[in-house]
Amino acid sequence: MKSCYLVAALFALQASAVHAEDYKVGSLVIHQPWSRATPKNAPVAGGYLKITNTGTAPDRLVGGSADGAKRFEIHEMKMDGGVMKMRELKDGLEIPPGATVELKPGSYHIMMMNLSRPLAKGDKVKGSLAFEKAGKVDVEFAVEGIGGSPAGMKMNEHGH
């Protein structure tokens, strides 16, 4: 019964990001990178994806790049004294062996900062991800609609 539930959950997730693709590097599989359309004059966009480590050793997402973004950071969101705050993960994000780590709104995410142009729904943003062991892989972020912002995800909390 557990596997049926998982399959249903996977279909639900895929339906929300139908334009995106999977990428492989080393023993890592990167599922469906996507981003969100940005409001005019908002120089920041989130990047979301899932990373599965099919190997036997841990790896870390340590950086990357996105076309048009001067800065590319890996963030986490956490409750801090009742307020949702985000901070940069300076040492990157660990992908344990056999695990799938999801970067999603309200949780771990990539922050594309100082964007040279707004992102529009349907755009593809070329970029790359850098892993400590697996190395670098080129990916493409599919830009979805603006949708609702996760609670507490405010630009002024970045403090950069």
d(CA 61, CA 100): 12
Our finding on whether 69 is near Cu ion (CB under 5 A) is no
Q: 118-139 as b/e, with b when 16 or more CB fall inside 10 Å?
A: bbeeebbbebbbbbebbeebeb
Q: How far is the CB of 154 from Cu ion (least distance, A)?
A: 10
Which range in 6-14, 28-36, 107-115, 142-150 contacts Cu ion by CB under 5 A?
A: 107-115
Which range in 49-57, 91-99, 103-111, 127-135 contacts Cu ion by CB under 5 A?
A: 103-111
Strand partners, 69: 115
Contact 69, 115 (CB under 8 A): yes
When the beta carbons of 25 and 77 are compared against Cu ion, the nearer one is: 77
Helix and strand numbers, DSSP H then E, in the chain: 1, 11
Our finding on whether 66 is near Cu ion (CB under 5 A) is no
When the beta carbons of 66 and 134 are compared against Cu ion, the nearer one is: 66
Our finding on whether 86 is near Cu ion (CB under 5 A) is yes
Our finding on whether 75 is near Cu ion (CB under 5 A) is yes
